C-alpha cells in the first residue's frame, strides 16, 4: 500500500516537472523568437518611441531646353508642422499660425492641442519670407521643413508641354506628369532623440539622412524657336480669333520636337485651379490628344504613296470638270468650275480633289489601308507624353469605295497634328518615319547622363527617289500656288495648305479647320512646321490665308536665327519681292471681272463661296502687297 503511494507521488511530481519544463520551454522559445526573429521590428518600434523625424523633401529635377536654358526649376519654401507636446502657449501659437498663414483659427487650434498625435502638418509650401516671420516669434512647438516649389521662368510658354505639379510637387500634367518618377527624387530625414512627450533631449545626437535630388531633363525643345512660335501664335489669335490653334516644329531627320504650342494657354506659375474642368480642357495638348480631318495637307501622303506604289507617274494627266461621281455620289472639287486639264504635279499645286479621288481609286482599298499603317496612322506613335491618341481610321469592313475616294484628299480619316507632321517628315527625309520625342537626355545632379534617347525609325514609308520627287512637288506648290504668303524670297520652301469642314455625323456649316505644313529648306529640310487653326474667324477660313502667313513668319525667324544664307539661284527673287502693288477694289464686280482685275494687278486670287457678285474682299482696297500675293474674294 505504501509502495503504491510513493509510486503515485513520483508520477505526480514527474507530471508537475514536465509541465513546468514545458512552460519554461515555451517561454524560452518565445523569448528566442522575440529576441531573434522580431528584434529589428522591436528596435524600430523603440526608435519610434524615442526618436522624432522631420522630412527633408528632395529637390525636384530641372527641365531644360536643348541649349540648357532652364524651363522648369525650384525655389525654396517651407512646410510648417506643429508638435503639440512641445507647445507651451497653445492660443498664441494658434493665433500666429492662423493669422500669418490665412487659416481657420479653430482648425489650427485643434491640431495644436491634439496631444494624441506626435506632429500635425499645418501648411505646405509656405513662402520663405512668411515662414521666417513665424520663426522669428520663437514659439516652441512650431517646426519648419525646407521644401521646394516649382517655378517656370517662361510663364505661359510651353504650357501644355511642360504641364505642372500639385502643391506637394507631384507631376499632374504634361512632361511633369509623364516623367514624374524620374524628376521626384528620394526624400531625406532629420532624426532627433526625444522624451516620452516628444520633447528633444538635450546633448543628444541628431541623425541626418540627406535627400537625393531628382533627375534633370534636357528636352529637344529650342526655346528660341519656341519664342518665334509663340509670337506667331499671338498674332494668329489676334487676327484670326479662332476657337483653338496649335503649332508644331519638328526636325524631320530625327523625330525631335523642336517646338510645340497650343492656344488657349495660361501662366504655369499661376495655375487656374478654381475651375477644374476648364483647367483640364486647357492643359490638354491638342497636338497629341485631339484628332481632326486634315483636309488637303493629307494629299501629300496620298501623292507620295501613289508614286511609291507605281499607280501615278509625273507624265500622267487628268481632267477635272469640278467633280467626280463615285458609287453614285457626287464628290465636288473645291473649285466648282473645275481645273480642267492638268498634270500630276499641277494636281497637287491646285489641290484638286478630283485628281486625288482618281489616285485613291487607283490605289484601291487594300493599299489605302496599308498606307495608313505604313505612315503610322490609326495607332499611337509612342511619343513620351500621356494621353496620345492613335487617330480614327474607319473600320476596313465598313468602308465603302466612296469613303476610300474621300480619304485620299483628307476626309473620312482623322489624325492628330503630331501624326500628320510626323508623316510629312518621313515624306521629305527620304522615307524614314521617326518616333517623335521630347526628352533628349536625363542627367543626375552632377551632370552625369543617366539615360539618352536616340532617334528611332518606326517604319520606312517611301524610297529616296519618291521623296526627292515629293520635295520638288511641294516646293512647286509654294512657287505656283500659295504665292507670297508662304514663299520667302531667296529661299527654297516647300509646303501644302489644307482646309477641312468639321464633321459631327454631318458636315457642320460654317465650321472649318485651316492648316498649313511647310518644309525648309525645301530640297533638304531641317525643319517642318505645321499650323492648325480651329474655326478661324478672320477674313477667310482657307489655309492659305488663316494658317500659311504664320508658318512663314516662323520660318523667316528660323532663317535669321540659324543664319541660313540665301540660295544663289533665288537671289533675283529678293529684288523682285521689293516690288509692291496695290489691292484693287473689286466689291460689286462679277467673279470673272474681279479675277481679271486682280490678276492684271499682279496678284493671285482665291474665291470663297458661290455667287454672281463679289460681296467682300481681303485685304482692303489700296493695301500695298508684294507681287504674286494671294488675295481673297467672297461671293454671294
DSSP string, 414-459: EB-HHHHHHHHHHHHTTSEEEPPBSEEEEE-TT--EEEE----EEE
Residue with cell 518611441: 49
End-to-end CA gap in the chain: 136
Beta strands in 3-154 (DSSP E): 51-56, 63-64, 70-82, 120-127, 142-151
DSSP, collapsed to helix, strand or coil, labels residue 567 as coil
Q: What angle do CA 12, 18, 22 make, to 5 degrees?
A: 145
Is 320 in contact with 342 (CB distance < 8 Å)? yes
DSSP, collapsed to helix, strand or coil, labels residue 469 as helix
Burial of 138 per CB tally in 10 Å (0-12, 13-18, 19+): exposed
What pLDDT is attached to residue 483? 45
Residue with cell 491640431: 111
Radius of gyration for the chain, computed over Cα atoms and rounded to the nearest angstrom: 35
Question: Quick count: other Cβ atoms within 10 Å of Cβ 379?
Answer: 14
Nearest by Cα to 291 from 376, 397, 418: 418
Q: Tell me how far apart the alpha carbons of residues 97 and 142 are, in angstroms, rounded to a whole number.
A: 9
Q: Tell me how far apart the alpha carbons of residues 632 and 627 are, in angstroms, rounded to a whole number.
A: 15
- Strands 63-64, 216-219: pairing is parallel
Cell of 133: 516671420
Question: Quick count: other Cβ atoms within 10 Å of Cβ 112?
Answer: 25
The distance of Cα 19 from the centroid of its chain, to the nearest Å, equals 76
Cell of 495: 509646303
Q: Tell me how far apart the alpha carbons of residues 534 and 64 are, in angstroms, rounded to a whole number.
A: 30
Is 519 in contact with 493 (CB distance < 8 Å)? yes
The H or E element spanning position 466 is helix 464-477
Q: Tell me how far apart the alpha carbons of residues 23 and 17 are, in angstroms, rounded to a whole number.
A: 10
DSSP, collapsed to helix, strand or coil, labels residue 198 as coil
Number of helices and strands in the chain (H, E): 20, 28
Spatial neighbors of 356 by CB under 8 A, at least 6 apart, are 299, 302, 303, 347, 408, 409
Cell of 614: 463679289
DSSP, collapsed to helix, strand or coil, labels residue 96 as helix
Burial of 195-224, coded b for 16+ CB within 10 Å and e otherwise, reads: eeebeeeeeeeeeeeebebbbbbbbbbbbb
What pLDDT is attached to residue 196? 54
Residue 502 backbone phi and psi in degrees, to 5: -65, 150
Q: Would you put residue 102 in left (φ > 0), alpha (ψ -120 to 50) or beta?
A: left
Q: DSSP string spanning 223-257?
A: HHHHHHHHHHHHHHHHHH--SEEEEEEE-TTT-BE
Q: In what order do the strands lie in the sheet with 614-618?
A: 604-608, 630-635, 614-618
What pLDDT is attached to residue 9? 73
The answer to whether the peptide bond before residue 619 is cis (omega within 30 degrees of 0) is yes
Furthest-apart CA atoms within the chain: distance in Å: 147
Q: Would you put residue 303 in left (φ > 0), alpha (ψ -120 to 50) or beta?
A: alpha
Beta strands in 153-293 (DSSP E): 188-193, 207-209, 216-219, 244-250, 257-263
DSSP, collapsed to helix, strand or coil, labels residue 179 as coil
Cell of 241: 480669333
The distance of Cα 590 from the centroid of its chain, to the nearest Å, equals 47
Q: Which long-range contacts link 125-132 to residues 24+ away (Cβ below 8 Å)?
A: 125/77, 125/78, 125/79, 125/149, 125/167, 125/168, 126/77, 126/78, 126/79, 126/80, 126/101, 127/77, 128/76, 128/77, 128/78, 130/100, 130/101, 131/77, 131/78, 131/80
Residues with active-site annotation: 296
Residue 313 backbone phi and psi in degrees, to 5: -135, 155
pLDDT tens sequence across 92-115: 889 999 999 999 999 998 998 988
Which ranges of the chain have pLDDT less than 50? 482-486
Question: Quick count: other Cβ atoms within 10 Å of Cβ 600?
Answer: 10
Burial of 417-440, coded b for 16+ CB within 10 Å and e otherwise, reads: bbbbbbbbbbbbbbbbbbbbbbbb
> Angle 90-101/128-135 helices, nearest 10 degrees?
160
Regarding pTM above 0.85, the answer is: no
Amino acid at each position: 500500500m505504501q509502495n503504491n503511494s510513493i509510486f503515485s507521488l513520483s508520477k505526480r511530481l514527474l507530471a508537475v516537472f514536465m509541465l513546468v519544463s514545458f512552460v519554461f520551454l515555451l517561454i524560452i522559445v518565445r523569448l528566442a523568437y522575440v529576441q531573434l526573429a522580431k528584434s529589428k521590428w522591436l528596435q524600430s518600434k523603440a526608435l519610434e518611441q524615442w526618436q522624432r523625424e522631420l522630412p527633408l523633401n528632395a529637390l525636384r529635377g530641372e527641365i531644360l531646353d536643348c541649349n540648357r536654358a532652364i524651363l522648369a526649376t525650384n525655389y525654396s519654401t517651407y512646410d510648417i508642422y506643429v508638435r503639440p507636446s512641445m507647445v507651451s502657449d497653445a492660443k498664441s501659437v494658434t493665433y500666429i499660425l492662423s493669422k500669418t498663414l490665412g487659416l481657420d483659427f479653430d482648425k489650427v487650434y485643434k491640431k495644436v492641442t491634439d496631444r494624441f498625435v506626435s506632429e500635425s502638418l499645418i501648411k505646405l509650401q509656405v513662402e520663405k519670407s512668411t515662414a521666417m516671420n513665424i520663426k522669428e516669434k520663437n514659439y516652441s512647438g512650431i517646426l519648419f521643413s525646407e521644401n521646394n516649389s516649382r517655378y517656370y521662368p517662361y510663364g505661359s510658354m510651353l504650357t501644355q508641354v511642360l504641364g505642372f505639379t500639385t502643391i506637394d510637387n507631384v507631376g499632374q500634367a504634361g512632361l511633369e506628369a509623364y516623367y514624374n518618377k524620374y524628376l521626384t527624387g528620394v526624400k531625406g530625414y532629420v532624426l532627433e532623440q526625444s522624451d516620452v512627450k516628444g520633447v528633444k533631449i538635450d546633448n543628444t545626437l541628431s541623425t541626418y539622412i540627406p535627400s537625393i535630388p531628382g533627375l534633370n531633363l534636357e528636352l529637344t525643345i529650342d526655346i528660341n524657336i519656341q519664342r518665334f512660335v509663340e509670337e506667331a501664335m499671338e498674332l494668329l489669335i489676334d487676327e484670326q480669333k479662332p476657337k483653338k490653334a496649335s503649332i508644331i516644329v519638328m526636325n524631320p531627320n530625327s523625330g525631335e520636337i523642336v517646338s510645340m504650342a497650343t492656344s488657349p494657354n495660361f501662366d504655369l506659375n499661376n495655375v487656374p485651379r478654381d475651375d477644374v474642368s476648364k483647367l483640364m480642357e486647357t492643359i490638354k495638348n491638342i497636338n497629341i490628344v485631339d484628332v481632326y480631318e486634315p483636309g488637303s495637307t493629307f494629299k501629300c501622303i496620298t501623292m507620295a504613296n501613289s508614286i511609291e506604289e507605281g499607280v501615278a507617274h509625273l507624265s500622267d494627266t487628268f481632267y477635272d470638270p469640278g467633280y467626280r461621281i463615285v458609287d453614285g455620289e457626287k464628290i465636288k472639287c473645291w473649285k466648282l468650275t473645275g481645273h480642267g486639264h492638268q498634270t500630276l504635279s499641277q494636281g497637287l499645286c491646285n489641290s484638286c480633289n478630283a485628281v486625288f479621288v482618281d489616285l485613291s481609286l487607283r490605289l484601291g482599298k487594300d493599299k489605302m489601308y496599308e498606307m495608313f499603317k505604313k505612315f503610322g496612322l490609326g495607332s499611337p506613335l509612342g511619343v513620351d507624353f500621356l494621353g496620345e491618341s492613335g487617330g480614327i481610321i474607319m473600320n476596313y469592313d465598313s468602308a465603302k469605295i466612296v469613303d476610300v475616294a474621300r480619304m485620299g484628299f483628307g476626309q473620312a480619316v482623322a489624325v492628330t497634328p503630331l501624326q500628320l507632321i510626323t508623316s510629312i517628315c518621313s515624306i521629305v527625309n527620304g522615307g524614314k518615319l521617326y518616333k517623335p520625342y521630347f526628352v533628349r537626355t536625363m542627367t543626375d545632379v552632377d551632370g552625369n547622363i543617366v539615360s539618352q534617347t536616340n532617334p528611332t525609325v518606326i517604319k520606312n514609308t517611301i524610297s529616296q527617289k519618291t521623296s526627292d520627287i515629293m520635295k520638288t512637288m511641294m516646293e512647286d506648290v509654294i512657287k505656283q500656288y500659295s504665292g507670297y504668303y508662304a514663299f520667302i524670297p531667296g529661299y527654297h520652301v516647300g509646303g501644302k495648305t489644307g482646309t477641312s469642314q468639321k464633321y459631327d455625323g454631318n458636315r457642320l456649316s460654317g465650321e472649318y479647320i485651316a492648316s498649313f505644313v511647310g518644309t525648309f529648306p525645301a530640297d533638304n529640310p531641317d525643319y517642318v512646321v505645321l499650323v492648325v487653326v480651329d474655326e478661324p474667324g478672320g477674313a477667310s477660313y482657307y489655309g492659305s490665308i488663316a494658317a500659311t502667313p504664320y508658318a512663314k513668319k516662323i520660318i523667316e525667324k528660323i532663317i535669321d536665327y540659324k543664319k541660313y544664307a540665301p540660295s544663289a539661284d533665288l537671289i533675283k527673287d529678293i529684288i523682285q519681292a521689293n516690288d509692291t502693288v496695290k489691292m484693287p477694289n473689286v466689291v460689286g464686280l462679277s467673279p470673272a471681272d474681279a479675277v481679271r482685275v486682280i490678276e492684271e494687278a499682279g496678284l493671285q486670287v482665291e474665291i470663297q463661296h458661290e455667287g454672281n457678285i463679289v460681296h467682300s474682299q481681303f485685304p482692303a482696297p489700296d493695301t500695298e502687297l508684294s507681287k504674286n500675293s494671294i488675295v481673297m474674294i467672297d461671293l454671294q
